[in-house]
A and B are shown apart, each in its own frame.
Chain A
Amino acid sequence: MSELSVNHLLGIKYLKETDIQLIFETADHFKEVLSRSIKKVPSLRDITIANIFFENSTRTRLSFELAEKRLSADVVNFSSGQSSVKKGETLIDTVNNILSMKVDMVVMRHPNPGAGIFLSNHVKAAIVNAGDGAHEHPTQALLDSFSIRERLGDVSGKNVLIVGDILHSRVALSNIFALKLQGANVKVCGPKTLIPKHIESLGVGVESNLRKALNWCDVANMLRIQNERLDISYFPTTREYTQQYGVNKALLNSLDKEIVIMHPGPINRGVEITSDVADSKQSIILNQVENGVAIRMAVIYLLASKIK
């Protein structure tokens, strides 16, 4: 059997298409495990994983923790809020202290782009990037593609639209890498101020008219407006954003075809999408959450198999 070409999951950018396929095939098996009455396997009994989160997170952290526990790994959790980081400790010191307690793998979320790459160069443990600033969020992109594959059969050849704050979104960047690697066509749509310059160089189309963009796509991934990252005003008001780039049921019904709606969460209900869209049959938002555990189990399982 093939194995991952990498020892860390730092970003989709560093993966090959075969890595993604291997992760998906392994996740398929874990989905079946998760459907059993006892949803736990003993594979990682001898592995200890530290989840270190320098930034708030609910679903990603829960999803990772659940994935680790379903694989029978020992888990320690760390949030910077109640730690010595506040006393001025460096990232490497923090992580080395954790590793001294015989930890084999580190799942890290950090507000600075490249934090995972930096860490992987300085410490001896497998690193999984659970989001580094506005850079990458690889497991989210993997579970998004996995959910598309589950709903539409294949990712290759599908038209996928990413709507919203592309500029600050690590989900958008990782998704673009993952989707392009699997042969999907990708367009982004949002206020010009939130579309990075030269994004076309990633092989991505840009469409400013949401209706036109929705008519083109098979899947629309609606990103959250990240108020916490918007230090200056990128659009006049939330109300105006919603009018231009929000999706509601009436808009969806007026399209020529039925498209699939995704959202990485948490949803600002009534801003990016209305409640009736979020809870409709077209939405696969809860499937994304469910698939997140299987994908993270697959990633951790495959990386752990390379720890000697």
Chain B
Amino acid sequence: MSQKVLLSSKEINIILHRLACQLLENHLNFKDTVLIGIQPRGIFLAVRLAKILKEEYGVGPIDLGFLDITFYRDDFRRGDKPLEANKTKIDFPIEDKNVVFIDDVLYTGRSIRAALTAIQSFGRPKEIELLTLIDRRFSRHLPIQPNYRGRQVDAINGEKVKVMWKENDGEDVIYLVKT
């Protein structure tokens, strides 16, 4: 197994600020917008973006939630073990809101398909957008594309994109891992 650094801490920081600015351009004061981090790994990105928006761009209160998609996935019973659920925390209404899904890596698109079904359990949003830090091109199984992307990556099937966050893994870095 070998791995090479795709993005360093500094590059990640620049990309996060750019993504925050792009969100700001489209959603202004976030009064009618909610950010939803997709469990388990999208939540670190969502928290980081909300922090930048609040602390560096003075955006008022932002509704930030976490969505678990385990029970909505289409590969239940296809793996060796049951899918492990994570916590869902959405304690604000999403009815008629602009929802931004936030996930670290967009690969086949199946997670986002599940998220689109899962979010319906909470109401009917006005619009749903997708923000992803890494967009793995040419690997989609479903017609799903991000509205905001950090970096586009061409990775073959044997390769994996590993996103590490300071809060969880001790450092901000993204690797391309060859197995």
Contacts and interface: CB of A to CB of B under 8 A. Distances in A.
A3 B85 contact: no
A125 to B, nearest CB: 15
Interface in A22-40: 26, 29, 32-33, 36-40
Contact of B83 (A1, A32, A42): A1
Interface in A259-308: 301-302, 304-308
B81 A37 contact: no
A6 B85 CA distance: 20
B71 A43 contact: yes
Interface string B71-96: 11000110001111101100000000
Contact of B121 (A3, A29, A36): A36
A36 B85 CA distance: 16
Q: How large is the interface on B (under 10, 10 to 19, 20 to 34, 35 or more residues)?
A: 10 to 19
Q: How large is the interface on A (under 10, 10 to 19, 20 to 34, 35 or more residues)?
A: 20 to 34
Contacts of A255: none
B103 interface: no
Contact of A1 (B81, B87, B88): B81
Given A3-B82, A32-B88, A37-B122, 15 more contacts: A3-B81, A29-B88, A32-B87, A33-B71, A33-B88, A36-B122, A38-B120, A39-B121, A43-B71, A43-B72, A301-B82, A305-B81, A305-B83, A306-B82, A308-B77
Shortest 8 CB-CB contacts between residues of A and residues of B = A41-B71, A1-B84, A305-B82, A38-B121, A29-B85, A36-B121, A43-B71, A43-B76
Interface of A: 1-3, 26, 29, 32-33, 36-44, 46, 71, 301-302, 304-308
Interface of B: 68, 70-72, 76-77, 81-85, 87-88, 117, 120-123
19 contacts: A1-B81, A2-B81, A3-B81, A3-B82, A29-B68, A29-B71, A29-B85, A29-B87, A29-B88, A32-B88, A33-B71, A33-B121, A42-B71, A42-B72, A71-B71, A305-B76, A305-B77, A306-B82, A308-B77
